[in-house]
Amino acid sequence: MYFTDPSGDLSRIAYEGGRNSEVVVTTDPDQGRLVNGWLAPFPGGEWAAFQTAGGLGAEPRVMLLNLDTKAEEELVAGRFPRVADQFLFFHPGVGSDEVMAVKLDPRTRRPSGEPRPVAQDLAWGGGPNPVRLNPAPYAVSASGVLAYTAGDQEVVRQAAWVSRDGSWTPVDPAWQGDLYGLNLSPDGSRLAAYQNGLSILIKELDRGPVTSLARSPAPWEFPYRPSWTPGGDSILYSRVIFEEGEPKAQAHLVAADGRGAPLQIALPQPHAILSPDGSWFVYRTGSFSGEDLYAVRRDLAADPIPIVATEATERQPAFSRDGRFLAYASDASGRMEVYVRPFPDAGRWRTQISAQGGSAPVWSHSGRELFFHTTSGELASAAIEETDTRIRVVGVQSLFSLEGFGTEDATATHYDVAPGDEQFTMFRILQGGRESMAGPRQMIIVSDFRRLFERRQQTAMRTSS
């Protein structure tokens, strides 16, 4: 049995079982190899194709591998290979929605002609999935059948400035990709985000350079959910690592200018934010159900204290700009709503902000508004005022529809408000993903991919003549 281990090596183990596995293809960051996998065996069992992939900006390649000698050589640029009936199938790479096929020489197993498209409009899922554990959504059989799902494409997002009426302009038209976790620096001059499965990115606004921080040392040890420390000099983020084959998450701090190595923070749970004065961590415990919010001093000298720990789910904590209040989302009423409590003495009172469902709270800089998502897919603003004893809601208004913007996942918030409270930073979905509303998917069956390939070959020849 062949598999990709947590370090990114392509390994194998006897099908009878056992404790010892053998590395077949190793990773090599200097050669642009961070992960090797997606093995596609040739008939006979002596040869196989596999994909090797690198990090930021590296082009994946499909390689030919002798399973006995471990000798290898490049076949084509691409990924997710399949082999059937002396054809090699592959996906060209990010930005393409096609499956390509190329004939192989039966003696050398090398391409004997030009690749031709045999499937188009491939459906890709959306959402922060840092490592694509599943291959491209297609399959082939030795009998000549090609099956694939068609629909929305691979995720491409672009950071945008969004006005209160929903109109938007790109932050930098050239900055786009599989991006998540948008967060503005305290002075509004830089954006932090994470590129899916690769690194934390710091973008100088508007059209300045992008700095890559905390890059993945291995394909599954990915950083995500960046947030700024109060002074804007460091980034707090989470990282998934593997220990004895089990995934674990950690909290880390790294200098925003890239100097020095990341520092691990020994928090009980990694999904944390810092209070505006830098003295408290607030973090979420649990996973997807029964989540609670706790706080601990930054020096970790005292035990954590519960902020909201109930039978309900509490998530998405957000400090007011002065640090005196904490907003969060909870399903205590039976559905997700936005609430505010004082901090750190959160047990004194609780004010419900949303009335018809809400999540993803973000405070205005003035402290007089709290923004959140509605269940109808809009961004809303709650006008609030402080009384002698608590915060109360003065009014709630809908600002604009969030259709086409990637602003939230189940546990985190992916938008921010700029100084002045007149515009927001969000990711506009250019391609793919749940938020793009790209329509339903379809299963396409090609009964004879060989005949389709020949037709595409003839069309290409007529066009070139």
DSSP one-letter string for 66-91 = ETTT--EEEEEE-EEEEEETTEEEEE
Q: Interior CA angle at 98 toward 51 and 151, to 5°?
A: 115
Look at residue 127 in the predicted model and tell me its pLDDT: 47
What tens digit of pLDDT does each residue of 150-163 get?
Answer: 875 567 889 999 99
Q: What is the mean pLDDT of the chain?
A: 87
Residue 314 pLDDT > 70: yes
Instruction: Find the mean pLDDT for residues 99-127.
Output: 86
Asked if residues 180 and 194 have their Cβ atoms less than 8 Å apart, the reply is: yes
Q: Confidence band (pLDDT; 50, 70, 90) for 443?
A: confident
Surface-to-core class of residue 19, CB atoms within 10 Å of its CB (0-12 exposed, 13-18 middle, 19+ buried): exposed
Question: Domain 280-411 adopts which CATH fold?
Answer: Neuraminidase (2.120.10)
Domain boundary assignment for the chain: 2-153+439-464, 157-271, 280-411
Q: What is the DSSP string of 153-216?
A: -S-EEEEEEEETTS-EEES-TT-EESEEEEEE-TTSSEEEEEETTTEEEEEETTT--EEEES--
Confidence of residue 131 (pLDDT cuts 50, 70, 90): very low
Q: DSSP label at 368?
A: S
Percent of the chain with pLDDT over 70: 87
Amino acid letter, residue 24:
V
Is cis: bond before 165, omega within 30 of 0?
no
Fold of the domain built from segment(s) 157-271: Neuraminidase (2.120.10)
Would you say 210 and 200 are in contact if contact means Cβ atoms under 8 Å apart? Answer: no
Residue 63, pLDDT above cutoff 90: yes
In this chain, the answer to whether the domains covering 157-271 and 280-411 adopt an identical fold is yes
Report long-range pairs for 56-62 (Cβ below 8 Å, ≥24 apart): 56/195, 56/198, 56/199, 56/212, 56/215, 58/32, 58/34, 59/32, 59/93, 60/93, 62/88, 62/90
Q: Provide the whole-model pTM.
A: 0.70
Q: Is residue 84 predicted with pLDDT exceeding 60? A: yes
